[in-house]
Structure 1
């Protein structure tokens, strides 16, 4: 092959690589989304005000994150969520990606919303999906939320033996996160389990 032909092929390859690289580049995160996420844990009401006052993101990834955060803020405040249509936008976006944390979060709130809508089988499937994804992360707060939600769902369905194992995992996540409130909640959940089993001495210990 002539040197000029090789040069042309290399040039074409470089141009194509640049094109596809640019097409996959993520948009810079919107400052409103960053602020909302930063205050979500302690002040979900403030997070919701930020999210509802900002322009609707047009970028698909940022729109998915907006849908996830709005659902999270409403869920944490026990505000009415009439359907899973909003969180489903986030779930469908993150599902085929490698973002385990966002996949776990969107599956968690798909489970939580469907649980409140009394769609128990559907909720269980999403919680189990969230459990698989959160194990791929080091987000211990999220791990606690997934496990405690799944454990309470098991108690609701009278699957008490499954619940104890899950609540233990929730406690382990809380310890790793050094979150005393979550540790106390986990111990309370396990006390509730033993109370249901009529093992009151063990319940009192927890």
Structure 2
């Protein structure tokens, strides 16, 4: 009898929790849907949201992540990381692997833009571990590309080239032509820096990247 009562109470609690669980702010969801193709429109929607409209920790973390993301996509320099820390702390606390990957990635982007490379690399490597657990291969490819770019900027060409090769493989698997072209062109630049004996290899990679980019432009046209 006691077991039956306990089971009934547990079921009632689950139903109540399901009914009262808040859903993400509709404006945030709309801004997120525009993020990839229309980041300027996403920025417009986010700028219209008032702080008092964010009634839950979930909404505030989601907002913090989206604002950081949209500023990065619109090439807006971010002076500090106070906003993205809200998202990182929340998603780490609830252990949402896919959102942890995004939050740590965009935290790394802030450090990257500020040219503080050790912190950026630390965030990117953390983000990769979460992205791989979440099977987010596309994000994994972009994180690897950022890591390779940071190695390239520091003239660590051997490390950069090895990471660009990983990026290429992921880009081909995900059919991401833009990422593939970027990795190829950067590998071509590395080959140029290695000296004249690598010029032919560099030419092949850069020409291949150009063909891919031209194909992308034609499809968009």
Fold similarity call, TM over 0.5: yes
User: Where does residue 15 of structure 1 map in the other structure?
Assistant: 9
In structure 2, relative to structure 1, the CA distance for the partners of 1:10 and 1:159 (3 Å cut) is: farther
1:8-59 CA deviation, whole Å, 9 max, x = no partner?
A: 3542354256437755875222221221111111111110111121233221
The residue aligned with 2:185 is: 188
- Match of residue 40, structure 1, among 30, 35, 38: 35
**Does residue 1:68 correspond to 2:65, yes or no?**
yes
Aligned 1:161-176 pairs, distance under 5 A: 161-176=158-173
Deviation string for 1:112-149 (max 9, x for gaps)? 10122232211110011111111123433312221111
Does residue 203 (structure 1) correspond to residue 202 (structure 2)? The answer is: yes
Q: Is the aligned partner of 1:131 residue 2:134?
A: no
> TM-score, normalised on structure 2?
0.81
Q: Tell me the equivalent position of 2:115.
A: 118
Give 1:183 shift.
1.6
Q: Using the TM superposition, give the Cα deviation of residue 67 of structure 1 relative to its aligned residue in structure 2, in angstroms.
A: 0.7
**1: CA distance between counterparts of 2:170 and 2:93?**
26
**Equivalent-residue separation in structure 1 for 2:93 and 2:155 (angstroms):** 33
Please say if 1:159 is aligned against 2:166: no
* Pair 1:102 & 2:99 matched: yes
SS at match of 1:173: helix
How many residues align? The count is 200
* Greater helix proportion: 2
Contact 2:24 2:58 in 1 (8 A): no
Evaluate the alpha carbon distance shift between residue 142 and residue 22 of structure 1 in structure 2; reply closer, same or farther with a 3 A threshold. farther
TM-score with structure 1 setting the length: 0.86
1:51-87, CA deviations, whole angstroms, 9 ceiling, x for partnerless residues? 1212332211121111111111001111121101111
- Structure 1 residues without counterparts, runs of 5 or longer: 1-6
Q: Which 4+ stretches in 1 moved above 6 angstroms?
A: none
